[in-house]
Amino acid sequence: MKNIDFLQTIKSLMVIFVMHITTSSGAIMIKPFKACRANNSLVGLIACHDYNILSLEQAKKIAQTNPVSFVHIARPEVDCAEEIKPYDPEAGAKGYENLQEFLHDNLLRHDKEPSLYVYGRIKNNRLQAGIIGLVDVNEYTSGNIKRHEEVITSKERKLTLYTELQRAQVDPVLLLHERNEELSNLIEKVINQAPHQAFYADRTAHVVWAIRDKKTIDRICALFKKINTLYIADGHHRTAAASSMKDHKKRNLHDDVTHDYYMAGIFPFDQVTISSYNRIFKDLNNRSKDEFLQELQLYFELEAVTTPHKAIPHEPNVFGIYCQGSWYKATLKKNIVRSNHNKTPMLDIAVLSSLILKPFLNIDIYNPDDRTEFVGGIWGLDALEKNCREHNWPLAIAFFPIRSETFSALVNEGELMPPKTTWFEPKIRPGLFTYTFDCCSNEKLPYKQDVNDTP
């Protein structure tokens, strides 16, 4: 009897071991969905700028001048009372109301059949393309989808409630993966066909292909099962919110609505551009310009330059610094320690933080407050100077962009970067793809007619 119990125990342990090997090896699960997409004849007016970089004032201005802009859904506080802030419950409810109006008025359409999509952006004669689909959110909890920034619990909770109230994910998360040759070849075949949507805005062509062929969809899904890891580029809090929405007991949604998957744009590293995220500081912590420059010179070789262009960092450990009307190029001195305990080169922002920002300016890069403004590196150093002059802010710092290999190495080691360290492109314009929970349930849709006709 004891021998039987012993054998059963061994068998049970073997099953657990095999399950562990299977789950920990990684196999990314994706699937097609019926995307809610902009009406083809109005797509250029509906698809809006990345709402995360818009101030409330900018968003309201867009909403006032363009009644069909997706900003009414992505930033519904523009249509709310003055005291309503982003992610307030009232804004979420208004976002749902606006979404239903867009569907009712045929501004947005659900595709008739589940599809995968390819989104392509052509800018400066370069095409960047990736897959749009639903990704198994369990990959996040298992660690196969890796983050590079800390998630703020309070923001995650607010976004979860907000998404529940809107009953939709209005913006795909941007995920990255190492290149898979066959997958890249399949995408190339798709983009050689006529697109289903295309429009031009801000000197950029935005192109969408819908993949409906079941054989192609199945093959793409099978290829993703061979990919072990996805990296979150944009959308840490949206991913965390999607993960928390899996618990039906915490949601006031119908049981037939599945939240095991969430919407993402999935791009190989070679199809994205990583730019720096530059910073503006609104004060010098009660220090003078001369005191700040003297402190810098303890750790950096400081060179005064005449234009913003000459201050652009062209390698790691070099910074462009604008201080009260003057530009400088700051190069870290060779005797300064540049690596962390894992011998991985420290991020430039971490180097600057340990030497200057934290001890001298009392700036916490991991918990930024309203003393710090962020400006995407794509806007150039001229934008830093312009903002400082307009608001009488004393200091701006430009960084060298992190390289993709450094990014993935740090993430694989479990290192978390400060918020707003990287600026990834392409940015998928909100309004091109929306994942509505009503569409994936069996309940009657709350608008007049089925407008699933796809261009």
pLDDT at 159 over 50: yes
Q: What is the pLDDT of residues 167-210, one digit of tens each?
A: 999 999 999 999 999 999 999 999 999 999 999 988 899 999 99
pLDDT, residue 25, reads 52
Say whether pLDDT at 449 is over 50: no
Confidence grade of residue 453 (pLDDT, cut at 50, 70, 90): very low
Residue 426, preceding peptide bond in cis (omega within 30° of 0): yes
- Between CA 365 and CA 120 the distance in angstroms is 33
For the segment 123-135, the average pLDDT, to the nearest whole number, is 95
pLDDT of 127 reads 95
Tell me which CATH code domain 276-422 carries. 3.30.1760
**183 membership: H or E segment, kind and range:** helix 181-191
pLDDT band per the 50, 70, 90 thresholds, residue 15 = very low
Question: Can you tell me the distance from the alpha carbon of 123 to that of 158, in angstroms, rounded to the nearest whole number?
Answer: 35
Q: Sorting pLDDT into bands at 50, 70 and 90, what band is 442?
A: very low
Helix ranges restricted to H, 253-345: 289-296
Would the pLDDT of 435 be above 80?
yes
Residue 25 CB burial class (10 angstroms; 0-12, 13-18, ≥19)? exposed
pLDDT at 13: 36
User: Largest alpha-carbon pair distance within the chain?
Assistant: 87
The CA R_g of the chain, rounded to the nearest whole Å, is 24
Residue 27, pLDDT > 90, answer: no
Residue 346 pLDDT greater than 60, yes or no: yes
Of 105-114, 127-136, 254-263, 273-282, least confident by mean pLDDT is 254-263
Q: Given a cut of 90, is residue 21 above it in pLDDT? A: no
Task: Using CB atoms within 10 Å of the CB of residue 214, give its burial: 0 to 12 exposed, 13 to 18 middle, 19+ buried.
Answer: exposed
* pLDDT-based confidence at residue 252 (cuts at 50, 70, 90): low
What is the C-alpha to C-alpha distance for residues 39 and 431, in angstroms, rounded to an integer? 10
Please give the Cα distance from 277 to 376 (Å, whole number).
5
Pairwise CA distance, residues 223 & 190, whole Å: 16
The phi and psi torsions of 141 (rounded to 5 degrees) equal -70, -25
Question: Is the pLDDT confidence value at 344 over 60?
Answer: no
**Distance between CA atoms of 220 and 45, rounded to whole angstroms?**
31
Q: How confident is the model at residue 258 (pLDDT cuts 50, 70, 90)?
A: low
Q: Which is more confident, 1 or 25?
A: 25
Please check the confidence at residue 10 and state whether its pLDDT lies above 70: no
Amino acid letter, 282 = K
The pLDDT tens digits of the residues spanning 357-388 come to 999 999 999 888 899 999 988 889 999 999 99
Neighbours of 325 (CB within 10 A): 10
Indicate where the chain has its CATH 3.30.1760 domain(s).
Answer: 276-422
* CA dist., res. 107 & res. 101, Å (int): 8
Rounded CA-CA distance 368/420 in Å is 10
Q: What is the mean pLDDT of residues 127-155?
A: 92
Mean pLDDT calculated for residue range 132-140:
95
pLDDT digits (tens, 9 = 90+) for 53-110: 777 888 899 999 999 999 999 999 999 998 988 888 999 999 999 999 999 999 999 9
Residue type for position 373: E
pLDDT(337) > 70: no
**168-195 residues labelled b (16+ CB within 10 A) or e (exposed):** bbbbbbbbbbeeeeebeebbeebeeeeb
Number of residues written out for the chain: 455
pLDDT of res. 19: 35
| Mean pLDDT, all residues of the chain | 86
Q: What is the pLDDT of residue 35?
A: 96
d(CA 170, CA 329): 41
